[in-house]
Structure formats: structure tokens, C-alpha cells
Amino acid sequence: MTVKSKHVRIKGIKDGLVFLLDDKCPFEDLLSELRYKLEHSHQNILTGPIVHVDVKLGSRPVTDEDKAAVLEILKSQGNLLIRSIEAVEDQGNVDPEALFLMSGMLRSGQVLHHQGNLLFLGDVNPGGTITCSGDIYILGALRGMAHAGVDGNQDAIIAASLLSPTQLRIADVISRPPDEWGTRESSMEFAYLSSGAMQIDKIHNIVKLRQGLNVFKGV
């Protein structure tokens, strides 16, 4: 089957790729061309090291199911790490408490940045880095570096199923070295700032910090 290459454009940027998807064609046609390009005409970008990808859907009305369909195709390629997927209509209607969901594995030398709150499904290995303007929630092991509240938000937190980082940072406050934390139970924990100092606590105590705020709104 031949698919005309007119609905999907792939643009190289300084730190990865941008997939520009036509917002005028039928969505199923868009998915077909995206799948075809990745499987047949762009093998050169799929055989190298990890590539960060931003997906732009234009002004097309999209549902969570639509985004999931695009992500499913892109995630089938092992070296593509999806950094963001957005439509123009999302801008200006962003819930500041919403969590953006991503999955994968961050290896040494890889950096993932997100504007907003991030829920990352996977491990962050030593040498891997996650930075975020909001909160960072990791359902996996954090053995690399995490920086929440990069724009100066001291209310941001960092949580992980296994909190064993090389460094934690919230706003401009850097954590103590891991060997000073002492021995802790292997349960999900989170880091936060109190009076300008980094603190570590069990995840169930987050409600005390957030006064019952539903931080999972929008997931």
C-alpha cells in the first residue's frame, strides 16, 4: 500500500524531533500515514540513539483516546521518547493541577523536561535527569537526578516508588547527598521543601502538605 506523504511532517530541532500532524485530514488517514512513515520511509531516525519527540496536532479537536492512538504508534519505535503531545486548543485551557502522563525509561545522559506536572511511568537510571516546572511523580525507581519547580516553585514536590536519586532539587534548593539520608524503608516517598530545607516523607502524608488537594485531577 502506498501512502502519500502530505499529512505528517518531521522536523529536526536542536534537542530532538517535532512531528507536525495535519489538522485538516481525517484522523484515521493521519494515523495511517504516521505508521507508514515510521515503518518504511524514516528508518534512519529509528536506528540510532534515543530521540526526544514533541508532537503537534494543530487546531484539531482531540480526545485522550486520539492522543493515546498517536502515542501507541510512536512508542512502538524503541528509540523515540515522547516528550509532549499537544493541540492548539489545549493552550489556554490547561489545568495547572493536571498531570501529564509519559512512560519509558531514562538512561544515562538522557534529559526529559516538561512544563507542568508530570507522571512518569518507568525508571530513571543513574545519569538520567527529569526536570519539571511543577510536580514530578515517578511510578518506578528514581536513581538519577530530578528537579521539580524549575521556574522557582517552592511548593513543588518529587515522589517516586523508589527514591534513591543521585540528586534531588526543588526550585533552587538542592538535596543533601544520598549517603546522608540514612537507611529508609523501601516504600513510596516524596520530597518537599519546609522552611527552605529539603524533607523526605512517606507518600501517604502528602495530604497533610497539600491540605487535601486532589493532585491527580486531570489524569
Q: Residue 46: which pLDDT band, with cuts at 50, 70 and 90? A: low
101 and 82, same structural domain? no
Q: What is the pLDDT of residues 186-219, one digit of tens each?
A: 678 999 998 888 988 888 888 877 664 444 444 3
Q: What is the pLDDT of residues 1-34, one digit of tens each?
A: 344 457 888 888 877 888 888 887 778 888 888 8
State the residue range of the domain holding 143.
95-219
115 and 218, same structural domain? yes
213 and 116, same structural domain? yes
177 and 193, same structural domain? yes
Cite the beta strand spans of 92-188 per DSSP E.
99-103, 111-114, 117-121, 129-132, 136-142, 145-148, 158-163, 167-170, 173-174
The percentage of the chain sitting over the pLDDT mark of 70, rounded to a whole number, equals 80
189 and 115, same structural domain? yes
Domain boundary among 73, 93, 113: 93
Which position has the grid cell 524549575?
150
CATH number of the domain that residue 7 is part of: 3.30.750
Q: What is the pLDDT of residues 114-141, one digit of tens each?
A: 878 999 999 999 999 999 989 999 999 9
Nearest CA among 198, 192, 195, 197 for reference residue 213: 192
Statement: residue 113 has pLDDT above 90: no
178 and 127, same structural domain? yes
CATH number of the domain that residue 110 is part of: 2.160.20.70
143 and 37, same structural domain? no
Q: How many domains does the chain have?
A: 2
53 and 145, same structural domain? no
Q: In b/e form, how buried is each residue of 139-168, taking b as 16+ CB within 10 angstroms? A: ebbbbbbbbbbbeebeebbbbbbbbbbbeb
Q: Could you give the CA distance from residue 151 to residue 208 in angstroms, rounded to a whole number?
A: 24
138 and 78, same structural domain? no
149 and 200, same structural domain? yes
Domain boundary among 60, 93, 126: 93
185 and 149, same structural domain? yes
8 and 84, same structural domain? yes
